[in-house]
Amino acid sequence: MKYLMLVCTDTEPDPESSNHPDVEVWVAENDASGRRLQGAQLAPASAATTVRVRNGQLLVSDGPFAEVKEMIVGFDLLECVDLDEAIEVARAHPMAWAGRIELRPFADFEQ
């Protein structure tokens, strides 16, 4: 199964986050195993552009649309056997300690 792993900041990081795993080690291990198919760090939210269409009119604004304290700072595309494996991969990511990780399975429209 494919999962989109959203890497996010958090307003309440783990106080022990200074002991978190190294991200370069996490990337190397998951690339070597074939579980991480792709990933990247994102530019800051201030570089975002929001696109909406309302009443047929294009609305484009700078920055994120919502005022939120947590921000998506990166993503990884995972290929895992199941959700349990994806959770194990996510729990070893440094931002699971200093931020939060959201896992989303890809929709299967063939079912």
In this model, does residue 14 exceed pLDDT 80? no
> pTM, whole model, 2 decimals?
0.82
Q: 3: closest CA among 85, 74, 70? A: 85
Is residue 76 within 8 A of residue 8, CB to CB? The reply is no
Q: What percent of the chain has pLDDT over 70?
A: 94
In this model, does residue 20 exceed pLDDT 90? no
- Summarize pLDDT for 71-83 with one digit per residue, the tens: 889 999 999 999 9
Cα dihedral 16, 69, 26, 77 sign: positive
Q: If pLDDT is split at 50, 70 and 90, which confidence band does 44 have?
A: confident
Q: Backbone phi, then psi, for 108, in 5-degree steps? A: -110, 100
Contacts of 22 (CB under 8 A, 6+ apart): 94
